[in-house]
Structure 1
Amino acid sequence: MQTLKSMAKANMRQSSMIIALVFIMLLFQVLTEGILLKPINITNLILQNSYILILAIGMVLVIITGHIDLSVGSIAAFVGAISGILMVQYQIPMLLSVIICLIIGAIIGAWQGFWIAYIKIPAFIVTLAGMLLFRGLTLVVLEGKSIAPYPESFQKMSSGFLPDLFGGSTLHMLTILISLTISAVYVLMEWKNRKTQIQYQFDTAPMGIFVAKLVAMALVINAFGYVLAQYEGIPNILVILAILIVLYTFIMRKTIIGRHIYAIGGNEKAAQLSGVKTKKVTFLVFVNMGVLSALSGLVFAARLNAATPKAGNLFELDAIAASFIGGASAYGGIGTVPGAIIGGLVMGVMNNGMSLIGLGIDWQQAIKGLVLLAAVAFDIYNKNKAA
């Protein structure tokens, strides 16, 4: 029982957000009379929130280091504008255009990271300046007009689906097979991790609770796959998101640079005295944020099928909110990539559910603000309680 209490306490923030997400989904499922969890709406939820979730992955790293980035929406809009010029006006091949846009994002991130990491200008000021600069450059580049349409191959990045290789008539059989494979891999990995923990005499959950957790997760994964299989199957953007989530979760949990990012957020001076190259790591975090901002801009442009001056509006606030709601600390040093994804899904389900029940954008913004305030207040409460 003591082990269970300590494990619950260690994962309280993320667990509470998962519970909150389930509660919000059930609430809106009832209020919308079953529309929320229909296959077509679940697919729309993924497509509508993909670019915010991409930003949230990068933003949580920035917040863990103790910084903030207000420029991501403007960078996404600027890179989207550049992609429109390259692909629509100059007819440059899609793959080459995407690579150029990602490189531009990395350069922008390096520009901002230099001022923050090496010149020591506060990130709030640098990224606020970047928000204004790149929003202005977007208007200059597009001359206040939208550019469209994009090549069909580019549009499929955001709105396409994996083809069904097995030719299912009512169900997308490839999606069913993938969900079964993922659940099996998950069970094997969790079982291997448990054996390792027992070998090194770490605290582990009782076998009954461990098995119940595996069964519950396997059911969730396959239920999600079944819902997607009833419509068009797995969206291409979900594959991109899954790769990013796995990659960045691995980096933050299993690599040296991941540990260094947490160390900088926990205590930058102590990390520096311990041999961590704090300036270099901070610089790389903002380069990474620039690349993910560029990717987000490309995904949004592909979904909209146009490069528009108003793209990226308030993206930074949604990404920051997703990170904090998902468990990142306002003080730095705490946060996870899966937590940021959960936070983004909480915001996305709320947006979608409130729209389905006909709640106006004014009330939507007010409620989202209250949720963000409550999440940060919860974090501060826990920190003060631990002290």
Structure 2
Amino acid sequence: MDKTKFKEGFQKYTMIIVLVLVTIFFAWGTQGKILLPQNINNLISQNAYVFVLATGMLLCILTGGNIDLSVGSVVCFVGALCGIFMENMNLPDGVAIILALLIGTLIGAWQAFWIAYVRIPPFIVTLAGMLMFRGLSNVVLQGKTLPIKSEIFVKLFGGGANCYIPDFLGGEDGFNKVALAVGIIACAIYVILTIRTYMNRKKNGYDAGSAVAVYGKMILIVAVIMAVCIKLAQYKGVPTSLVWVILVVIVYGYITSKTTVGRHFYAVGGNEKATKLSGINTNRVYFIAYANMGFLAGLAGLLTVARMTSAQPTYGQNYEMDAIGSCFIGGASAYGGTGTVPGVIVGAVLMGIINQGMSIMGTDQNMQKVVKGAVLLAAVIFDVVSKRKSFIAK
């Protein structure tokens, strides 16, 4: 194998290799407890907000390494308003959900205006937003906890013990057939798309890569999907929070990889001046990134209050750190212009496994923060060093 291609392949799949090694370590350290069906389910449910926020944060980072520090506070504020709409104002659940998502989007658009058109640094705007919306969360909730009593809302967004897709296929002995069917369908779609993409690239004369590498990766991903779905089937099935995560990943994965708008994010992060000279409205790109972040923060707010079955002024603390960390660990560049939605999901899963593994092992909370910080620093150092070596080589 060519040495250069091997090096490029290693860099491309570094985080996947790390994820496998970390999983093996915690499987050994917890005596296999981390791989129990219930813990796999908890990993998904507890980190649903991370998957959603990290996907939105990726678009901000792509524009040049920019971040949004306000997402945790927006999650809390939007979740609090949704609870007030349903419980205090007695609005229908559907109306409350739409209003909450609309408010999240408006918050994002408000911050996006200052960033995109007034050109105030994103760090300053979103830092102000973090303080403002945390304070407003306390104001609207009056510093109290607001219980969420709507069963429909809680089940729809994945909170509580019975928030799973019903097993309409009639699974027996505690085995959920719907979860298994979802895995089979997902694998079939992935295999068809992978083979079609590979064949089309070969047909059109593009570099499609090694057939062994492409099909080897395909087999590995299919095995992982089926293993997860079998674990879910052995517990209660597919949690509704996972459905929202899958929808977000599919939609934004398509946008970033297959659309003109998606390519604009990478172009702005790669070279904003050249992108502007080519006729692309860079202000609009920034606006879309941060307005969209507000929308996804609103969705994460609904997932959070549904899971907790309450709204509290303290919800959402450090959520922005989890999202930012997942992006950088998942391969997004600190300089912008590089990163993918699948990579971000790998980063989020890695963070989730580290958190859960250390919790099961009884690691002190302070040491957990040390480990997470070290992992994030290592990921960014790897990105910076690899970019520098690549520049020197050229």
Give the alignment's TM-score, normalised by structure 2. 0.95
| Equivalent of 1:54 in 28, 49, 52 | 52
Q: How does 1:248-287 map to 2 (within 5 A)?
A: 248-287=252-291
Q: Which amino acid aligns with 2:334?
A: A
Counterpart of 2:84 in structure 1 is 85
Counterpart of 1:74 in structure 2 is 73
Preserved CA contact (<8 Å) 2:40 2:228: no
| Equivalent of 1:217 in 217, 221, 244 | 221
Q: Aligned equivalents of 1:173 and 1:60: distance in 2?
A: 34
Counterpart of 1:180 in structure 2 is 184
Deviation at 1:216, TM superposition (A): 2.3
Deviation at 1:298, TM superposition (A): 0.9
Counterpart of 1:42 in structure 2 is 40
SS in structure 1 of the partner of residue 114 of structure 2: helix
Q: Aligned equivalents of 1:35 and 1:240: distance in 2?
A: 26
Counterpart of 1:361 in structure 2 is 365
Preserved CA contact (<8 Å) 1:14 1:326: no
Deviates more, 1:163-172 or 1:50-59: 163-172
Q: Verify: 1:163 aligned to 2:161, yes or no.
A: no
SS in structure 2 of the partner of residue 41 of structure 1: helix
Q: Verify: 1:240 aligned to 2:239, yes or no.
A: no
SS in structure 2 of the partner of residue 113 of structure 1: helix
Deviation at 1:93, TM superposition (A): 1.2
Preserved CA contact (<8 Å) 2:305 2:311: yes
Q: Deviations over 1:173-214 (max 9, x none)?
A: 111112111111111111101111111222234434433333
Preserved CA contact (<8 Å) 2:26 2:357: yes
Q: Which amino acid aligns with 1:235?
A: P
Instruction: Return closer, same or farther for 1:348/1:76 CA change in 2, 3 Å cut-off.
Output: same
Q: Verify: 1:203 aligned to 2:207, yes or no.
A: yes
Counterpart of 2:26 in structure 1 is 28
Q: Aligned equivalents of 1:255 and 1:125: distance in 2?
A: 30
Q: Deviations over 1:63-108 (max 9, x none)?
A: 0112111000000010011011101111211111111001001110
Q: Which amino acid aligns with 2:383?
A: D
Preserved CA contact (<8 Å) 2:73 2:317: yes
Preserved CA contact (<8 Å) 1:102 1:291: yes
Q: Aligned equivalents of 1:40 and 1:14: distance in 2?
A: 31
Counterpart of 2:374 in structure 1 is 370
Counterpart of 1:150 in structure 2 is 149
Unaligned runs of 5+ in 1: none
Deviates more, 1:174-183 or 1:304-313: 174-183
Counterpart of 2:233 in structure 1 is 229
Deviation at 1:12, TM superposition (A): 4.1
Preserved CA contact (<8 Å) 2:148 2:305: no
SS in structure 1 of the partner of residue 146 of structure 2: coil
Q: How does 1:125-140 map to 2 (within 5 A)?
A: 125-140=124-139
SS in structure 2 of the partner of residue 335 of structure 1: coil
Q: Which amino acid aligns with 2:30?
A: T
Preserved CA contact (<8 Å) 1:263 1:271: yes
- Percent sequence identity is 45
Preserved CA contact (<8 Å) 2:49 2:300: yes
Deviates more, 1:213-222 or 1:15-24: 213-222
Deviation at 1:14, TM superposition (A): 4.5
Q: Aligned equivalents of 2:360 and 2:342: distance in 1?
A: 26
Deviation at 1:10, TM superposition (A): 4.4
Aligned residues: 385
Unaligned runs of 5+ in 2: none
Q: Which amino acid aligns with 2:158?
A: S
Q: How does 1:310-321 map to 2 (within 5 A)?
A: 310-321=314-325
Deviation at 1:341, TM superposition (A): 0.9
Deviation at 1:219, TM superposition (A): 1.8
Q: Aligned equivalents of 1:267 and 1:17: distance in 2?
A: 26
Q: Aligned equivalents of 2:12 and 2:246: distance in 1?
A: 19
Q: Deviations over 1:236-263 (max 9, x none)?
A: 1111111110110110011010011111
Q: Aligned equivalents of 2:149 and 2:213: distance in 1?
A: 50
Instruction: Return closer, same or farther for 1:11/1:280 CA change in 2, 3 Å cut-off.
Output: farther
Q: Verify: 1:298 aligned to 2:305, yes or no.
A: no
Q: Aligned equivalents of 1:348 and 1:384: distance in 2?
A: 30
Preserved CA contact (<8 Å) 1:13 1:327: no
Q: Which amino acid aligns with 2:208?
A: T
Q: Aligned equivalents of 2:273 and 2:149: distance in 1?
A: 48
SS in structure 2 of the partner of residue 158 of structure 1: coil
Give the alignment's TM-score, normalised by structure 1. 0.97
SS in structure 1 of the partner of residue 35 of structure 2: coil
Instruction: Return closer, same or farther for 1:226/1:131 CA change in 2, 3 Å cut-off.
Output: same
Instruction: Return closer, same or farther for 1:312/1:112 CA change in 2, 3 Å cut-off.
Output: same
Q: Aligned equivalents of 1:247 and 1:197: distance in 2?
A: 23
Q: Aligned equivalents of 1:204 and 1:238: distance in 2?
A: 32
SS in structure 1 of the partner of residue 77 of structure 2: helix
Deviation at 1:5, TM superposition (A): 4.5
Q: Aligned equivalents of 2:11 and 2:302: distance in 1?
A: 32
